[in-house]
Amino acid sequence: MRGERRGGGRPGQGGRALNLRKIEAESYREALAKVRTAYGDDALIVGTRTFQRGGVLGLGGKQVVEVYVTETKTRGERLMELRGQAPRMPLPAVAAPAAYAAAPEQADAALDAPLPAAARERAAASERAPSAIDRRLNEIGLVLEQLSGEVQHLLRRSEGPPWGHPVLEEAYALLRERDVEDDLARQLIARLDRAVLPEEGMDEAALRGLVAAHAARFIDALAPAPAAPAGRVTIFVGPTGVGKTTTIAKLAARERYSSGRSVALITLDTFRIAAVDQLRKYADIIGLELKVATDPPGLREAIDSLAACERIFVDSAGRSPADELRLGELTSFVRAAPDAQVSLVLSATASARTLRRSIDRFARVGFRDLVLTKLDETQGRGVILSAIAHAARPVSFLTNGQNVPDDIEAADPQRIADLLLNGG
């Protein structure tokens, strides 16, 4: 079959080797159809990947979707089903020669004989210290046990969609094409009401509309919007390079020009002279007051000195999620302003795994919502859903470019669902 390749075996449940097959297609939906045609219900999808083939420097290439599948029954099992289970014939008993009958008694006598002194010493040493081979075998055993657990987890998660309805299966394929993680795609599809679904498939526009409507409700259930409105002071935190300073400039300009509020800026990012200069340039252009705080008491003093301002935006230095010391310092700044709310700024260009790690590490700071940046630099909008689900916090703003103040918009579940399904 065109687009199909055989792969090597992998360890599976109970030690069985998995006969992996690789199927290529132009979309996940087409690959799923090929899997059904070739293997029916006896196939498990154990992995997928998408890449560009051809082109020059990543341009002009063709998208290829690879799906790795394995059949749940071996060829031998299928042959047995076709031929029927043949009864096994018992082997005839054979009497042992007399010369061997006495062997057990001779062996018992040899075992009862005392060992030589040198042999006893070697045996004792072996009992006291396990050999290097034993230690290596133990290490290999632990690795194999870990790999076996990971493979079983993968197999459990990658079992084919169980819904048995063409529209639900098409919706699942659509979400996976949008880089929505498998667990979240399954949760969302489970919310679709079978009673209102047509028996046959739907055209893609209608399908996107159906899934987007349910996705909006799903997002709202994952992370309801806070009941209280945004506070007067907002501290923006996040990893390095996610665009915190530019995001703050956009928000400050919106508040100043659109809402007519009095706005001030505070920066904690004294580690990079360029960061202070960049924010000062924005403050001068927009006509805002800028203060610099070098320690937690300085932040408290700066906030108190801006009591007449209706909105205060605080820019912090980017922190590596792995830097415990710097995260601790950032937490001290936040504690100095208990009346402030904290927004975690993340880049939509990051992988779902990286976003989850950042969310976990910045949780100690205590953020209220998410701001997702650089949507214009990625087509993988599924990570937005991953971030919301893992943080259990809503997304307040989305940015999609460098232009101040234009390239930012308020986020809500319906807008996020539209971005996810329609790319708008």
Taking the whole predicted model, whether its pTM rises above 0.85 is answered as no
Q: How far is the C-alpha of 381 from the C-alpha of 180, rounded, in Å? A: 8
Q: Are 218 and 190 in contact (CB under 8 A)?
A: no
Domain count along the chain? 3
Domain assignment present for 399: yes
- Look up residue 90 and give its DSSP letter: P
Closest CA to 31 of 67, 70, 68, 5: 67
CATH number, domain with residue 412: 3.40.50.300
Question: What Å distances lie between residue 101 and 92, 105, 111, 253, CA to CA?
Answer: 19, 8, 17, 99
CA angle 361, 365, 369 (to 5 degrees): 90
Residue 154: its pLDDT value, please?
54
Domain contains 228 = no
Which residue range is the domain that position 214 belongs to?
A: 166-222
Q: 115 in helix, strand or coil?
A: coil
400 vs 295: CA distance, rounded Å: 32
Looking at the fold, whether 215 and 340 belong to one and the same domain comes out as: no
Q: Provide the token pair at 347.
A: 């880049």
Tell me: do 191 and 337 sit in the same domain. no
Q: Is residue 344 helix, strand or coil?
A: strand
Q: What is the residue-level pLDDT of the chain in tens, covering all 424 positions?
A: 445 544 444 444 444 445 678 888 887 778 878 887 887 766 677 667 776 676 544 455 677 888 777 765 555 555 555 555 444 444 444 444 444 444 444 544 444 455 455 545 554 544 444 456 655 665 666 666 556 555 554 544 555 555 566 778 888 888 888 889 999 999 888 887 665 666 666 777 888 888 888 899 999 998 887 766 678 999 999 998 899 999 999 999 999 988 888 999 999 876 665 667 888 898 999 999 999 998 999 999 999 999 999 999 999 988 887 778 888 889 999 999 998 999 999 999 999 999 999 999 999 999 999 999 999 888 778 899 999 999 999 999 999 988 888 889 999 999 999 888 876 5
- For residue 206, tell me if it sits in a domain: yes
Strands 408-410 and 395-399: antiparallel
Residue 353 inside a domain? The answer is yes
Say whether both 321 and 211 belong to one domain: no
- Give the end of a domain, one of 79, 113, 136: 79
d(CA 56, CA 42): 39
CA 185 → CA 65, 188, 197, 198, 206, distances in Å? 18, 5, 18, 20, 18
Three-class SS state of 50: strand
**Which residue among 79, 102, 124 closes a domain?**
79
Q: What is the C-alpha to C-alpha distance for residues 358 and 244, in angstroms, rounded to an integer?
A: 15
* pLDDT at res. 6: 46
Farthest-apart Cα atoms in the chain, separation: 109
Pairing of strands 233-237, 311-315: parallel
Q: Are residues 373 and 393 in the same domain?
A: yes
Check: CB of residue 210 under 8 Å from CB of residue 336: no
Question: Counting every residue, how long is the chain?
Answer: 424
Residues 6 or more apart in contact with residue 401 via CB below 8 angstroms: 376, 407
- Quick one: 168 exposed, middle or buried, by C-beta within 10 A (0-12, 13-18, 19+)? middle
Give the Cα separation of 131 and 125 in Å (integer).
Answer: 10
Instruction: Tell whether 323 is covered by a domain.
Output: yes
How much is the pLDDT for 263? Answer: 94
At position 165, the amino acid (one-letter code) is: H
Task: Considering only CA atoms, give the Rg of the chain.
Answer: 31
Say if residue 326 is in the same domain as residue 211.
no
Q: What is the pLDDT of residue 385?
A: 92
Among 302, 308, 312, CA closest to 255: 312
| Residue 300 located in a structural domain | yes
The verdict on 47 and 186 lying in the same domain is no
d(CA 201, CA 172): 13
CA distances to 279, 321, 355, 362, 369 from 239, in Å: 18, 7, 10, 9, 15
Are the CB atoms for 266 and 314 separated by under 8 Å? yes
Domain boundary among 180, 201, 222: 222
Q: Is residue 105 part of a domain?
A: no
Q: Residue 208: its pLDDT value, please?
A: 84
CA angle, 235 as apex, 233 and 237 as ends, to 5°? 170
pLDDT (0 to 100) of residue 42: 63
